[in-house]
Amino acid sequence: MNKAITDGIVLMPLPFAAGLGVWSSGDGTPGSDTYAVSGTGVFVSADQDFGGCLEVQKTDATQKVRYMGETPILPGCYLRVSAKVKAIAGPIPNVRIAGWAGKAGGGAASVPVSVGPITPLTTYGEVVEVSAIIGVGDRNGVDMVWAAAAYGHLGIDLTGPSGGLVRVDDIQIEDITSAFHRNMMAMVDVRDFGAIGDGSTDDSAAFEAADAAANGRLVLVSEGNYRLANDVTIENHIRFEGTVTQPRAKRFILRKDYHLQAYIDAFGDEEEAFKKAFQALMNFADHESLDLCGRRITLSGPLDMQNCDPSRTAFATRRVIRNGQFQPDPGGDWATTNVTSQGTYAPSNPTTLTNVVDVANVLVGSRVEGSGVGREVYVTSKNVGAKTVKLSNPLFDAAGTQNFTFRRYKYLLDFSGFDSLSQMVLDDIDFQCNSLCSGVLLAPDGIAFQIKDCAITKPAHRGITSHGTGCQGLHIDRCQFNSAEQALPVQSRVSVAFNANANDVKIRNNRVVLFKHFCVLGGSGSLIVGNHWFHGDNENDGVRRGGIIITTPNCKSVFTGNYCDNNFIEWTNEHSADPDFANQFSFGGLTITGNIFTCNDVAAGFNFIVIKPYGSGHFIHGFSVVSNVFRSINGFINRVEKIDTSFSDLDFSRMRGVTFADNTFHGVTNEAYNPANLTHTQNTASKTWVADTDPYLAFRGQARFVDSTMADGAIETSGGADIFEQPWADTNYGSDKREVRFVWDTAVKGKLRYQVRMDNPL
């Protein structure tokens, strides 16, 4: 670069031959004395070494020669000022390049040095060349760093003994910026715009100035440690040889090179780089996603995502983090924080604990344990002054005062610091928990959080946790969940792949390996499609637990095309403060269609579908189990469905809208249907035929209604005469109400086909 060539800027002073009225014996500022009138300097037209030159008699302690023209000082431009000098008579002085620095608009600029190195003149008649380099950037070889200057009056100083005569050839000023460039690539260096890189000086303005001057060229951050005390936005491409530091609350935004590698180059630490890159993601619209560039990021502790930008507590614009890996540093703080405190629960205030002792020690995001507490109940918030704790779900049987245990797991990515976070997407990320920590903790509120094509491997406790309603509209697609407990028998496992408390969850095409539970689902409107979850072990007659736990009785959800392997779907109302049926919806709104259910080496009492009411009076209203395949390997199971009566049974007299049809049963002793198409054979003539429907009706339900009857062959009297009458059906017959009594007008015998239901007509 040469500004005289590229921009037509005039740098070279007028020669002495043009007149001494533009050469000052003072600072060179307007109004200062010139050599045209001072009497201490004359023009010599024919010097044997110089041709035309200025002859000066040194009369002052510092004799100045300054060009009165304003030589521009430009960011990124370096000037070399040089002069040839010789002593001709009298005491011999010293010489140096010097100048007066001016700021834009006039007035003196504050610069650290305004003179170059001193060169002594030692012999009469010997021509000595002196020079110095002036520029904005603090670089090796720059003698006068004028970061604050806009222009200068440049020339020389004569110092030392006075009284001698000195001749000075025409002073030269030239652009030597190219000497500081290692190559001729189009770029600007932040040092050329005043950046110091000493780790303490605020270089924010220099970075911004360099970027503004780049105008499409590369911004170079040369070697050094640059402190940025303010927000900095770089609009151009940037390359880092040095590193930067910046307070957490300030933002460093790279608009052209927005990816993790650039931030690692900038901050020199991958964890800090991710924090600053995520902060930038939340604060400008040029990029909707942060590419981790396939990098593995080792975290020293749980990453508080909200603290990456303390100014933001809510965010609702779609943003994506993709293509990388997170893992915990084994030396980090990943231990679970356990707190036991006394608190009081009242069903009338279903999601609040009151009078909590030492509530300040209870951490938001903790899982709650205690008598009458359902699975996956978490602390959503707390009020220290009021001594209250807000819960993610009600408790089913905890009225009164008791001790509760609060377990706060540590997560690689912890979004719980946000008040609300919506439309955040984690895409193609590997969460390597290494049995030290859990994976992701969602915000307490928000919608449409997406996790897709990710792997959550060996979480110590939880893969993904929702401790509030930040799971509203949660999407989990094509993810791999691999347990750290694969070698343990089922009854010893504690880890859960994920939980959700809110509505409209979409769980699709995931593979889940050997957890205690695949998921615990509250809310309603869930779509569970195309997943494969397996939770068996190598134990003979092994224990099996629920793979998917539904905690909303009227769940309005669909299971389609899944592979449920060595576990079962468990449907409960354990997140109900009043679990007894009153005026609310009871169990209903669930469709299980086109799934594969498999188990092996289990006890005969194993079931694939279990309904577990935590209170009395409940029933089923709307439940469809259609076109599924149920298979038991290495042993038969008694049946695929059951009611777990640990707390209460269902009211079979109120069943409605139950369909159990077109399923395939292999290795199942008692198949289940509703309606059931059954046959009764009566070998002895009688007016009343009693047909037992058990065990064919779903859930061994009551024989509520007979939809149709048809004689299978002749109906005969005891004497062999054919009759052509139809019986009427007496349902809910017998002590267990599972029998149907068919009543004829005549004592007859024969075979009757009939369709019977365990639910009431709609």
Helix (H) or strand (E) holding 173: strand 172-175
Q: Which of 458, 606, 466, 456 is nearest to 545 (CA)?
A: 606
Residue 204 has, within 13 A of its CA and on its CB side, a CA count of 14
Cα separation, 585 vs 589, in Å, equals 10
Q: Confirm if 332 and 357 have CB atoms less than 8 A apart.
A: no
Copy the structure tokens of residue 681: 């054979």
Q: Confirm if 355 and 325 have CB atoms less than 8 A apart.
A: no
Which residues, at least 6 apart from 309, have a Cβ–Cβ distance to it below 8 Å?
Answer: 249, 251, 278, 279, 282, 283
Write down the pLDDT at residue 8.
67
Q: Confirm if 255 and 235 have CB atoms less than 8 A apart.
A: yes
Cα separation, 367 vs 376, in Å, equals 7
Copy the structure tokens of residue 755: 């369709």
Write down the pLDDT at residue 181.
65
Distance in angstroms between the alpha carbons of the first and the last residue of the chain: 87
Q: pTM of the full predicted structure?
A: 0.84
Report the DSSP pairing between strands 151-159 and 94-102: antiparallel
Q: What DSSP state is assigned to residue 674? A: B
Residue with tokens 């007496």: 730
One-letter amino acid of 197: G
Cα separation, 595 vs 530, in Å, equals 8
| Angle between helical axes of 260-267 and 270-281 (0-180°, round to 10) | 130
- Grouping H, G, I as helix, E, B as strand and the rest as coil, residue 680 is strand
Cα separation, 96 vs 118, in Å, equals 5
Q: Which of 392, 396, 390 is nearest to 359 (CA)?
A: 390
Max Cα–Cα distance, the chain, nearest Å: 161
User: Which residues does the chain have with pLDDT short of 50?
Assistant: 1, 183-184
Q: How many residues does the chain have?
A: 762
Cα separation, 97 vs 550, in Å, equals 84
Cα separation, 407 vs 518, in Å, equals 20
Residue 743 has, within 13 A of its CA and on its CB side, a CA count of 5
E strands, 613-738, are: 621-626, 629-633, 641-643, 656-661, 664-666, 676-692, 705-711, 728-733
Q: What are phi and psi of 568, to 5 degrees?
A: -145, 165
- Other Cβ atoms closer than 10 A to 108: 14
Q: Identify the sign of the CA torsion 101, 105, 106, 109.
A: negative
Write down the pLDDT at residue 182.
52
